[in-house]
Structure 1
Amino acid sequence: MYNPQLILHFSALHHLHILSVCLSLSTERQKMENNHQKPHALMMAYPLQGHVIPSVHLAMKLASKGFIITFVNTQFVHHQITKSHHHNHGPEAEDIFVGARKSGLDIRYTTVSDGFPLGFDRSLHHDQFMEGLLHVMSAHVDELVGKLVASEPPVNCLIVDTFFVWSSMICDKYNLVNISFWTEPALVLTLYYHLDLLRINGHFGAPDNREDAINYVPGVRSIQRKDLASYLQANDSSTVVHRIIYKAFEQVKKADVIICNTVQELEPDTLSALQKKQPVYAIGPIFPTGFAKSPVATSLWSESDCNKWLNAKPNRSVLYISFGSYAHASKQDIWEIAYGLLLSEVSFIWVLRPDIVSSDESEPLPPGFRDQIKGKGLVVPWCCQIEVLSHSSIGGFLTHCGWNSILESIWCCIPMLCFPLLTDQFTNRKLVVDDWGFGVNLRDEESVAREEVARKIRRLMTGGSADELRKKVTEVRTALDNALGPSGSSEKNLNDLIDDLKVKIASNKQ
């Protein structure tokens, strides 16, 4: 039966439907346009624990400032992270940024092959692994970037670790803004940056390198050869790591921007000298919000919970010991440190990776040591370092001087006993002990003796010398605090960096 009201009703519904479709299309279009306006960065962490952590935190920092981030781990790193969080069979097992997205950050996640099968022991076959990073990995990255540039919204800048050797090739090919992320102090960056000067002056790469002080590097007052990164002290400068360094530092000079995980006030002269050559932004320390345990899994090993043990200890009475995620120590040094700990009679937590000496060596500690320390000491394979360092019972940190460890230690006002093993750690020690004065050096000679270990642990942990060191580290902590404040240098540099990137992205599109 003909019912004009019904027809009017349907007609109105039809119009409403068309209107809602148009609205949702325009919202969708608006969203796409907004996305096209947003910078979309492809970020890739160097496949070592100490580089993954600050890269993840940088991704979150930039996403909270309106970036779209596509974060890339190698399949091996992803496999290790998910394996170490084996209790987690939920969506986080496939995508470590699920939690970050729940808080509204636009971070996508994917993986890429490093050129080796998952079962390949990268620690045991270190040089072979490095050859792969040098020669093989770029083909896998190239394929991935090709897909992401063609996706919606397209990637328009690349933020990768300075040690990757292919950044300018990929950026030129896909017309991306080229951003180099340096995860160590500016002092180390500038020494590598001026390798040619070290070579010309005979401090590096010669059969008999000069041993006198180096005082010709822009922004560096004077530095001893023993304080250079281990690769710059080496007599053989033809190793695979050296070849990576040469290539990476040709590349960094082609970057549009360098981001540094340091603070302008901690390294003013070095950063000013670098900033004359290229746009360099010091935006450190790059920590998870509130210095709490990160909502994103970054650990390649299962973490032991040390809180219960620490809760039973008096304030500032425990020495925390960790030699990081990568470097190896000699069995003799590990034994001397172990006996030094017993002599010092200080309580301690020792994070001792199973492969600290090598993947082949199953027990690095002296016979009977684990029985002798009952109640006094705790040895664990891995832990959440931020959690342990911020516990009130920790009073000192015996460390390999990795840069993440130093920044975390400063943040928790913990003085350091410095035992560098590899790479930038020797230069970092110079900063901690000589320039900022909150560290004690444990490594004067090639090897270390138990009596010296015991004496220096006591100096770090007790009496007037400990108070003096704590006063110094608190001063440096204040500089970090100020830098991250609303009008601080790191916050200002971060905002300037974002403005600079938006301009560069816009001019790349034209």
Structure 2
Amino acid sequence: MAGLEQHGDGGHRRRVVLFSLPFHGHLNPMLKLAALLHARGLGVTVLHTCFNAPDPARHPELAFVPIHETLPDEATSPDSDILRKLLALNAACEAAFRAALASLLRGGRRDVACAVVDGQCYAAMGAAGELGVPALALRTDSAAAFRNMLAGPQLRDAGYVPIKEEQLDEPVPGLEPLRVRDLIRVDGRDTDEHCSFVASVAGAVRASVSGIVINTFEAIEAAELAKIQRELSLPAFAVGPLHLLLGQPPPVEQSLHEPDRGCLAWLDARPPRSVLYVSLGSLARVDRGAFEEMAWGLAGSGVPFLWVVRPGSVAGGAAGAGAGAAADEAPPLPDGFEEEVRDRGKIVKWAPQREVLAHAAIGAFWTHCGWNSTLESICEGVPMLVQPCFADQMVTARYVTHEWGVGLEVGEEVVERGMVAKAVREAMAGGGGARMRERAHRLQMQASAAATSSAMDGLVRFILSL
């Protein structure tokens, strides 16, 4: 296995082994961390699945080793929900990860300082520990979301899970400002299955992990980070925002979709802060009804917009495109919509998001509140409209709107065109939007300051001490 390494150095530096979930929002933070560790003198080997494998040519300084997993349909199908994917990936990757890591250890056990494992890969955390390799968990969500996951078993014991309609607006003691409706969940999934996954993650962290690495920064989550360290008696390293630490210009990112760079020229022709950017990320899906309400809400707002309509982003989205619709086709838009917005709307399958958010024409970001998207918006000082779809996005949306005050809800639980139009106009041109923009600018300054901190150096010192 060690002979399969590509583009790696052959020296005898202490080496870190990294393993990520094979999704855009997990791979990119892991690869950024890998590059930063390498820049600080560590050897880096990236173990990865063959499914959605990273491109070694984009990261010539790193070594890449495939684990040669065999994945069931639940892990790869666009029709399976995130919980089903996570459970299937953990089950299918455990043995393959263990074998790949064991092979590396046989090739030079003293060189491997630790394994940095995706924080949702409880099976890999346990396997690293069983092989005698210290494991660090990389959380690609927020510190607040991680605290919610750690509290999962206690929340069930206290009667907050399964979530009950009559409790939705109750505050959750110890997890303020979260209400019951903001707790991590995947709608439509069996409660026992969800609780089992959360308990597995929390249990693996408590039993197998030597430290936590979180892509966040102290200025926005100092209290949450302190609570994590107290609850786990483990160091928690806030090393974000990772994309700022890497500097400019932005490095080439791993992407599962080819970005349409023509949208940047379209933005160039627009006035400053006049365009709403809309994207629900690389995994989130909405039903056809919500998609149509989004579309007509945008039309009714009168605001110029750039909308990412990703293939697979609408459940049953290809239905109107014919039975032979290709998997890479975007879902069909409502009849008459394109004519209605022709002069002020641009629709793409994927966008170079960091460059879009940094563009002067962008006035606000309608987001699913994935943590990478949220951090990128904060780092550019862009206020948000929030439409969380599942899991940690619920937690992040609450912090964006009520803790940091840089976002508005598109609609709580239900997306309706009239509410959408009203929220868009308020964010772009209303008094609430102006106040959010001021607060977003302050957070932007704090994020920039965090990118020059010594948090990453502290992590490297800890790794070398293991």
Check whether the contact 2:285–2:313 (CA below 8 A) recurs between aligned residues: yes
Aligned to 2:390: 422
Q: TM-score, normalised by structure 2?
A: 0.88
Check whether the contact 1:114–1:132 (CA below 8 A) recurs between aligned residues: no
> Do structure 1's residue 503 and structure 2's residue 456 form an aligned pair?
no
Q: 1:66 aligns with which of 30, 37, 41?
A: 41
SS of 1:77 mapped into structure 2: coil
Q: Distance in 1 between matches of 2:311 and 2:112?
A: 40
Aligned counterparts, 1:229-248, within 5 A: 229-231=184-186, 236-239=190-193, 241-248=194-201
Aligned to 2:454: 492
Q: 2:214 aligns with which of 249, 260, 266?
A: 260
Q: Which segment is superposed worse, 465-474 or 398-407? A: 465-474
Aligned to 1:394: 362
Aligned to 1:287: 243
Q: Distance in 1 between matches of 2:432 and 2:371?
A: 24
Q: Distance in 2 between matches of 1:474 and 1:359?
A: 39
Aligned to 1:16: none
Check whether the contact 2:86–2:120 (CA below 8 A) recurs between aligned residues: no
Shift of 1:334: 1.1
Aligned to 2:258: 302
SS of 1:329 mapped into structure 2: coil
Change (3 A) 1:61 1:352: same
Residue 191 of structure 2 aligns with an amino acid whose one-letter code is: S
Aligned to 1:374: 342
Shift of 1:210: 4.9
Q: TM-score, normalised by structure 1?
A: 0.81
Shift of 1:422: 0.9
Q: Distance in 2 between matches of 1:235 and 1:77?
A: 25
SS of 2:258 mapped into structure 1: coil
Check whether the contact 2:90–2:124 (CA below 8 A) recurs between aligned residues: no
Aligned counterparts, 1:137-286, within 5 A: 137-152=93-108, 154-205=111-162, 210-211=167-168, 213-217=170-174, 220-231=175-186, 236-239=190-193, 241-254=194-207, 255-276=209-230, 277=232, 278-286=234-242
Q: Distance in 2 between matches of 1:134 and 1:338?
A: 36
SS of 2:218 mapped into structure 1: coil
Q: Distance in 2 between matches of 1:410 and 1:329?
A: 24
Q: Distance in 1 between matches of 2:385 and 2:165?
A: 31
Residue 47 of structure 2 aligns with an amino acid whose one-letter code is: V
Residue 275 of structure 1 aligns with an amino acid whose one-letter code is: Q
Aligned to 2:4: none
Q: CA offsets, 1:341-384, max 9 Å, x none? A: 11111111100111111366253421122233223111111111
Q: 1:76 aligns with which of 46, 51, 70?
A: 51
Shift of 1:214: 4.3
SS of 2:237 mapped into structure 1: strand
Q: Distance in 1 between matches of 2:374 and 2:442?
A: 14
Aligned counterparts, 1:89-168, within 5 A: 95-98=57-60, 101=61, 107-116=62-71, 121-126=76-81, 129-152=85-108, 154-168=111-125
Aligned to 1:22: none
Check whether the contact 2:75–2:89 (CA below 8 A) recurs between aligned residues: no
SS of 1:75 mapped into structure 2: coil
Shift of 1:122: 2.1
Aligned counterparts, 1:428-439, within 5 A: 428-439=396-407
> Do structure 1's residue 479 and structure 2's residue 436 form an aligned pair?
no
Change (3 A) 1:211 1:465: closer
Q: Distance in 2 between matches of 1:129 and 1:466?
A: 37
Change (3 A) 1:308 1:169: same
Q: 1:456 aligns with which of 401, 417, 423?
A: 423
Q: 1:55 aligns with which of 12, 30, 37?
A: 30
Change (3 A) 1:262 1:234: farther
Q: 2:300 aligns with which of 343, 365, 384?
A: 343
Check whether the contact 1:420–1:443 (CA below 8 A) recurs between aligned residues: no
Aligned to 2:381: 413
Q: Distance in 2 between matches of 1:206 and 1:49?
A: 29
Q: Which segment is superposed worse, 431-440 or 136-145? A: 136-145
SS of 2:58 mapped into structure 1: coil
> Do structure 1's residue 323 and structure 2's residue 323 form an aligned pair?
no
SS of 2:281 mapped into structure 1: coil
Q: Distance in 2 between matches of 1:324 and 1:351?
A: 8
Q: Distance in 2 between matches of 1:497 and 1:242?
A: 31
Change (3 A) 1:480 1:130: closer
Check whether the contact 1:303–1:383 (CA below 8 A) recurs between aligned residues: yes
Aligned to 2:15: 40
Q: Distance in 2 between matches of 1:335 and 1:117?
A: 32
Residue 100 of structure 2 aligns with an amino acid whose one-letter code is: L
Q: CA offsets, 1:212-242, max 9 Å, x none? A: 634543xx344210111224x8783123x54
Q: Distance in 2 between matches of 1:130 and 1:168?
A: 14
Q: CA RMSD in A?
A: 2.5
Change (3 A) 1:252 1:281: same
Residue 450 of structure 2 aligns with an amino acid whose one-letter code is: A
SS of 1:198 mapped into structure 2: helix
Q: Distance in 2 between matches of 1:68 and 1:397?
A: 38
Check whether the contact 1:162–1:182 (CA below 8 A) recurs between aligned residues: yes
Change (3 A) 1:411 1:42: same
Q: CA offsets, 1:457-499, max 9 Å, x none? A: 11111143322111010111122122222xxxxx333222221
Change (3 A) 1:214 1:388: same
Q: 1:333 aligns with which of 283, 287, 290?
A: 290
Shift of 1:248: 1.6
Flag structure 2 segments of 5+ consecutive residues without an equivalent.
Answer: 1-8, 322-330
Q: 2:435 aligns with which of 468, 474, 489?
A: 468
Q: Which segment is superposed worse, 326-335 or 352-361? A: 352-361
Q: Distance in 2 between matches of 1:482 and 1:157?
A: 29
Shift of 1:114: 4.0
Q: CA offsets, 1:79-121, max 9 Å, x none? A: xx6xxxxxxxxxxx654312xx3xxxxx111222342289985
Change (3 A) 1:226 1:205: closer
